[in-house]
Every structure is written in C-alpha cells, then in structure tokens.
Structure 1
Amino acid sequence: MSLLAQSFIDSGVRYTPHTFSVPLDYQHPDQQTIEVFARSVTSARGDDEHKPWLVYFQGGPGFPSPRAVATSGWMKRALQQFRILLLDQRGTGNSTVINHQTLAGMSPEQQAQYLSHFRADNIVRDAEFIRQQWNIDKWAILGQSFGGFCSLTYLSLFPESLLRSYITGGVPSISRHADDVYRATYQRTLDKNAAFFAQFPQAQELCQRIADHLLTHEVLLPTGQRFTVEQFQQIGINFGVSDSFVPTYFTLENAFITVEGKETLRYEFLQSMMMEQNFQTNPIYALLHESIYCQGFASLWSAHRVRQEFPQFNYQSDQPFLFTGEMVFPWMFDSYTNLKSLQKAAQILAEKNDWTDLYDSAVLGKNTVPVSCAVYADDMFVEMDISRETLKQIPNSKAWITNQYEHNGLRADGEHILDTLIGMGEQTAANLNLALL
C-alpha cells in the first residue's frame, strides 16, 4: 500500500484504503502475484452495513479510479443506496504500477508477456477475487467507457456475482474486428472536426500555421522531446468530451510569439501540449488500447491501417488541418520519450493473435442481470450503432440514448445520469420478477 493511502473522514464520508495480493496470471495462481489497490467509500457513521456494494470500473485502459470527494456527482447518488468500492485497475494508481520505469528491467518479450495479463478479463478477476475474499454474495457494478467493456466481461465470466450493471458510454461490440470500430470512430472524429472549425473558422488558419511551423522547424517541448504535427493532431482527443471547443480555441489563439523578429511557438503553448500527453505517464493506454477489441486475432496497428482510408488526416502543407482522436499509432513509440523503450514490446503485442475471448455471447444471450446503459448519440469514442447492436443481443438490458451528453457525461452530470440508470434497473428487475410469477 502507498504510504500516503490512509483512511480518513470528510463531510460524513469515510474513505478507507485496501490492498490485495492477487495472481498475475489466474491460470497459474501459485506463481507471480501483484498488488491491487481499492478504496471503499462509506458512511462515517457506520450505519450503511445493510447496503449492497457498488464497484466502479474506470475508463481507459490504464487509468486509476477517481480521486474525488463523494459529496457531489455520481458518488453522492450512489451512497444513497450503496457502499462504493473504487478499484485501481491492475497496473494503475496504487496497484502494482506499469510505466516505463517498472518495465525497464525486462526484455521486450518479457514486457509483452507481462502486459498481456492486464486486460479486462483479469481486471474483472481481480474484482471477483475481492468479492470472494470479503464474502460478499452479490454486488452491483458501474462502468464508465472502458469500464463498461469490463462490465460486459464481468457479465460474461461471473454473472451470478452481480446484482445490477450500470454502464455509461461504454457498450462495445462483442464480436467485431477492431478495424470496424476505428472506421466508425474516424467518421465521428471527422464530425467533431467539422463542428469545431464551423464554430471557429479562424482556427483552421491557426492550426495550419502551427503545423507548417512544426514541419519546417525543430520544436522541442519543455521535456526536450521533439514536438511534431502528429502529436499536435492528437489533442483532438479532447473533442470527445463536453465543453472542449472553447478551451482548445483559446490555446490555439495564443500559440505564437515573436522573439527577435521571428515568429515561434511560445513556451506556454508548448507546456500545454506537453500536459496533453498522457501516454507518457500511463503507457497501458498506448500499449493495450487496441487489444481491448481483440479476441483471437491481432490488431496489427488497426488505427494506423484504417487511417489510410481517411487520407485527409495525413496533413500536408496548404491542405486543411484535422485533429485525430482516440487512436494509437506505431510512430508514437518512436516519438514519445517514455514510450521509446517499449517499442519492441508494442510491436509484439500488435502482432499477438492468440488473445483470449473477453466476452461470451452464449452467456450474454441468457443474461438475467438488469443492465442499464447511457448511450451517447454523438460519442466520438464508442459508436452508438455498435452499442445498440450489442444490446440487442443481451436480454434484460436497456439503453437510454441521449445527445444531451458527450462521452464524459458521468463526470459532467453524474448524479442525474446514475439516478436515471438506477431507475431503469429497478424497472427491469420488476419486470423480471413479474415474469417469474
């Protein structure tokens, strides 16, 4: 456990850290172990022991559970009828960490083999390990984005352990190839670009000026890493969340400064670009992102291959500029400082074709757990049509399809969203009970 992870009380809520030693590989549980960290969020009065547990699965992959107070948002609503367990998925947060430092002592082959145990199936097995250790009969789960992918894996592997499943912006295909996913998300990314440049037409000229400057000058970020057009394009990932257009425009507006009569990119702009590069601190996202779609096939750098079907994303001077979105590319392991030492492992993982199944369509096709989903119509990361396709195959699942929110709806208006999903789940449960009479 982190030395800083201590129990505390704030505003009537108790936050308690827990650490569990779990198998790295559940097929060989007597071999290597790792630590998994979770934080329980409960009433400080201790009067909620009758309430069931709700386990939260964070988006990503490669990011820890929220470090947020429970007096607002979805946690405020959840505490009305649940005790909460915030899980730091293996490799993140205070769980046994994966980054360029912890992987440094391994060969590329060892890195790839180790990383192959950090997908949704083992994240779910970690949660199930905790449930059994705590002797909990059943609990509910809430999955945001990639956490929703984990939720469908949980429903596939251990449906008998679940009371309810709530999913926000995270219903994946259970059978499609990654290429299908990226074809859809590239189209959504085009839509977001069109909307941004329609609102800020002058931003197109600014982006072209920045991109052309990067093509003709060696520009270094504060870390000393060379900043490229392709890296600049990747800040478009922000377009998948609400209220991102105006801050992006403000950043572009202040990109240049004149020094000794020459135009250059100002330090503040480069600092902000550096802060956008979460791949540096959370490499699981870059290393395993495409594998979250893989079941018995290799990704072979799916987003990179499919990008060639959308050549307008490959910027050339005097051509329109476009931002990219939630895609991972092989050049990142040549470009990003903290990913360079992981390049060979990334290639091994991209070529890995024996990924185990993450979903069981037969089990999901007989589902009896109430599944309530917020599906965002304009989601840049998780295609609505694919989500609807999946939910048609899962009995007792309901979708609330809305264009009121972007992918970050749970963070933007979590209290209302979770309240809606809980109500949907109660109605599904009531219908199930009626059917049994």
Structure 2
Amino acid sequence: MQYAHAFIDDGLHYLPHYFSVPLDHSQPNKGQLTVFAREVRLVEDEQSQKPWLVFFQGGPGFPALRPTGHSGWIKRALQEYRVLLLDQRGTGNSSVISHQTLAALTPEQQADYLSYFRADSIVRDAEIIREQFGVKQWAIIGQSFGGFCSLTYLSLFPQSLLRSYITGGVPSLSRHIDDVYHATFKRTLDKNQAFFAQFPKAQALCQAIADHLIDNDEYLPNGQRFTVEQFQQIGINFGMSGSFVSTYYLLENAFVDIQGTKHLRYEFLNAMLAEQGFQTNPIYAILHESIYCQGFASNWSAHRVRDQHPHFHYQKGQPFLFTGEMVFPWMFEQYKNLQPLQQAADILANKTDWQALYDPIQLANNKVPVSCAVYADDMFVEMDFSRETLATMPNAKAWITNEYEHNGLRADGERILDTLIAMGNQTAVNLV
C-alpha cells in the first residue's frame, strides 16, 4: 500500500516514488519487494535538468531522513542537484522488516529472507531506480553505512556514477571483522574516559544504577526486564556530538524514592526504552555484523572480542563502562522484539558464504571523483582503516578532521557537503 503523497513545504517540493524490485537480484522469480524513495527539489526547479544526488542512510536498517526544512546538507545539495532520499529495502516506506512482518516465517526462512538485505542488494535496487528514471549517471552521498553502500556501488556500477560523497563511512576492503571490533572497543574506551573526565560524579551514578539492576528487577514500559547490559548500550550515543551532557542529565534523574525504597523513575525507564532502536528496526541488530563479512562468518565477533576487553563486563566494585554500537547474542534473549528472531540471528552469525561486497581491482582503477569526510575521532568507523582503503583508490580524496563526531553530516551538513563538492570538482578537473 502506498501512503506517501507529494507536498510542498518551505520552498521545497517533495514527491514520493515507489518501485518494485526482486528480493534476490540473481533469481527474480523468488519474490518482489517495494522500495520507496522521496524526491526533494526546489519548487522553482520543476523544469530543471539538474542531476540527481541519491542519499544512502547509515545503519544498517534505518530509513532515509525526513527533512523538516530547507537547511543542512540538503540546502547545499539543492543548489546543484535534485535529491533522492532512498528508504533502503526493509526500512521506512519500503517493504519493512520487523518482528511483525517476520512472524509467520520459520527461523530458517527468516534467515534466508534477511540475507538479501545487505549493501549489494541495496545498490542493485538503486540501479533499477536509475534505469527506470532514464538517468545515465547520477551522484551519490553515503553517511556511515551509506558510505559502505557507496563503495559497493563504486565496485559494481562505477559507470553509473558522476560523483561519490562519503561522510564517516569508508570501510576496510579486506580486514576481518574481529579487527573492526578490537578497534571499536578501543575507541569506545576513549569516549568513556572523556565522558567520565568531564563528569566525574557520573561514575558513581552509573555504578549505583548498575548495582541496583543487579539486585532488583526493573521493567521497561514494554514489560521487558531492564539489565546492566542494556544500560551499557546507551553509550552508542557517545559517537555523536553533544551526547555527553544529555547522557549526564539522564543519569542524575534516574532514581525516585517511594516510601523509603529506591526505584528507577518511570521517566528514566521510558528514556531507556526509547534508546533501543532495534526494537523497531531489527535489521540493525540482526545484520550489523554481516556488513563486514565477505566469505566468512561473523560468529558473533563483538561478543568474542569483548571477552578480550574484560573491563567492559561490569562487576560490583569495578569501574562502569558503556559499550557502543556492538551487537551481542544476549540481545536476542533480552529484547522483547528481538526474541522471535533469535534462531535466525544465530543462523546468520554462522553463515560463511556471504558474497563479496567490494571489488578491490575495480576500486584500484577508480575514475569516479570520490570525496570523503573522515573523522579522526570516529567511534564507529576506524580512521586508520578508512585511510588504508582510500590509499588504494585513485581519484579519492579525504578530508580528515577532528572537528566532528560521526554525525557530522547532521550537525553541520551544509559546510561538510560544500567542502566535499569542492573536492570532487577539483578531482574532476584533474581527470579532464
């Protein structure tokens, strides 16, 4: 069913587009999906022939942004492009993945179905859309996981691309997933140290909350028992600018006294539930590790690597540390909406025949101008791995900066995209 409609707001025209794509691009008779994309253009550009710029969202498993005004990176993009905001398969207004839509499938069917929701399938969907639009070439912009998709696009269909802009999302082409999580845990430790240095009293508050959860049963508004491990996961926010202060505010209002007994406040518990985005977007939890897999199984990499960083396992009397964007097998035991997917998650964690996502030979001969914002202090995408990849790609330039966290495109998108466009234009001049 198609619910999105065209509308005009703040001088921008928003137009919905729906497309039918195969679930399995190698076997079109295996079933069809709907993919949604929202076109955004200036009202005065109705007859414009500006090229397209396609946005690939981070995640995986989250829909494209829903703009609420003529601002940020979209404001800069619309000076030169028409923008297409792609709801990647399984998200937003596309054929959605949730505990509800997967409920009728067996675990084996769930795992098979979900195996078609990685970057290679997302890029092939985009190619179908490009062909249906009758566009010879377009530009792409990828944020975080969207940058991973961009490198897949550059590997599979470079002839379709005018430019590629990447923010906080240049992956390693060949490293094992365990390397990724060793680096990620170190970056997460750095963020913890910075947070507790800025808010020294927060360590005692965190220990008090964790100890309380060990000794008492507390339940989130959805009826799910809240645990120390779940509490630690709000540290994912430390990869975003401005998160330290908001996290501290949560901590200082965690408890309420009821007739002489200490409880966690409903407001705090409700805020903790709101932090659990994989309750509504399970692709993030169930396929997160697979975005690093090419010909090998993840075998719950973050879970295994965490055991080599035991300070992240909280015990009473020991310092408390938050975790980051890692996913763990216990999540499918504890989180209410992930429980029906536990067996499928195990099947996918042990899947070894993941197809290649990148073509190093093609990327080594890259002729598409690629401009990247690489964040030196990025908690999610290791700068050194990004630099390794970019060193193998001709016509790829990196702006390495410590001015932004992973959410730089959201925080200061107009400036970031302006810088990347200028870099791409210079590379294009050099190619002529």
TM-score category by the smaller chain?
over 0.9
Trace 1:50-69 onto structure 2 (pairs within 5 A).
Answer: 50-69=49-68
**Percent identity of equivalent pairs:** 71
Aligned position for 1:232? 231
1:187 aligns with 2:198: no
The answer to whether 1:155 aligns with 2:165 is no
Deviation at 1:47, TM superposition (A): 4.4
Q: 1:223 and 1:31 mapped to 2: Cα distance?
A: 36
Q: CA deviation at 1:197?
A: 0.2
CA distance in structure 1 between the aligned counterparts of 2:42 and 2:90, rounded to whole angstroms: 28
Q: What is the deviation of 1:81?
A: 0.3
1:50 CA drift (Å): 1.6
SS of equivalent residue, structure 2 residue 96:
coil
Per the alignment, residue 72 of structure 1 pairs with: 71
After TM superposition, give the deviation of residue 48 of structure 1 in Å: 5.2
* 1:335 matched residue in structure 2: 334
Who is 1:405 aligned against? 404
How far, CA to CA, are the matches of 1:70 and 1:430 in structure 2? 33
Match for residue 96 of structure 1? 95
- Regions of 4+ moved over 4 Å: none
CA–CA separation in structure 1 for the residues paired with 2:64 and 2:203: 36
Match in the other structure for 1:115: 114
Superposed CA deviations along residues 236-287 of structure 1, whole A, max 9, x for unmatched, are 0000000000010010001111101011111111110011000100000000
What SS does the aligned partner of 1:411 have? helix
Residue 15 of structure 2 is aligned to residue 12 of structure 1? no
Is the 1:174–1:359 contact (alpha carbons within 8 Å) kept by the matching residues of 2?
A: yes
1: CA distance, partners of 2:30 / 2:265: 52
Is the alpha carbon distance of 1:70 and 1:82 closer, same or farther for their aligned partners in structure 2, counting shifts above 3 Å?
Answer: farther
Q: CA deviation at 1:93?
A: 0.1
Distance 1:55 1:225 in 2: 38
Q: 1:13 deviation in Å?
A: 1.2
Does residue 252 (structure 1) correspond to residue 256 (structure 2)? The answer is no
Unaligned segments of structure 2, at least 5 residues: none
Aligned to 1:2: 2
Greater mean alpha carbon deviation, residues 11-20 or residues 204-213: 11-20
What one-letter code is carried by the residue in structure 2 that aligns with 1:179?
D
Tell me how far 1:65 sits from its aligned partner: 0.5
Partners of 2:263 and 2:364 lie apart in 1 by 58
Q: Which residue of 1 aligns with 2:199?
A: 200
Aligned counterparts of 1:139 and 1:348: Cα–Cα separation in 2: 37
Deviations 1:172-196 (A, max 9, x none): 0011111000000100000000000
Name the structure 2 match of 1:391.
390
- Does 1:321 pair with 2:327? no
How far did 1:45 drift?
2.7
What aligned pairs does 1:335-354 form with structure 2 within 5 A after superposition? 335-354=334-353
User: 1:398-421 CA deviation, whole Å, 9 max, x = no partner?
Assistant: 000000000000000000000000
User: Given residue 362 of structure 1, which amino acid in structure 2 is its aligned partner?
Assistant: I
SS of aligned partner of 2:30: coil
Number of residue-to-residue matches in the alignment: 432
* Alpha-carbon distance between aligned partners in 1 of 2:9 and 2:325, rounded to the nearest angstrom: 36
Q: Please tell me whether the aligned partners of residues 48 and 83 of structure 1 are also in contact (alpha carbons under 8 angstroms).
A: no
What letter corresponds to residue 34 of structure 1 in structure 2?
L
What TM-score do the two structures reach when normalised by structure 2?
Answer: 0.99
Counterpart in 2 of 1:35? 34
User: Which letter does structure 1 place at the counterpart of 2:116?
Assistant: H
State the secondary structure of the residue aligned to 1:375. Answer: strand
Residue 68 (structure 1) shift: 1.0
C-alpha distance in 2, partners of 1:410/1:135? 29
> Offset at 1:46?
3.7
The aligned amino acid for 1:339 is L
How far, CA to CA, are the matches of 1:236 and 1:79 in structure 2? Answer: 34
Aligned residue for 1:338, secondary structure, equals coil
Q: How far did residue 85 of structure 1 move?
A: 0.4
Partner-residue secondary structure (3-state), 2:29: coil
Quote the offset at 1:70 in angstroms: 4.6
Mapped contact 1:52–1:140 kept (Cα < 8 A): yes
Partner of 2:429, secondary structure, is: helix
Equivalent pair of 1:34/1:96 in contact (CA under 8 Å): yes
Specify the alignment match of 1:358 in structure 2: 357
Distance 1:31 1:246 in 2: 49
Letter in 2 for 1:2: Q
CA shift for structure 1 position 316:
0.2
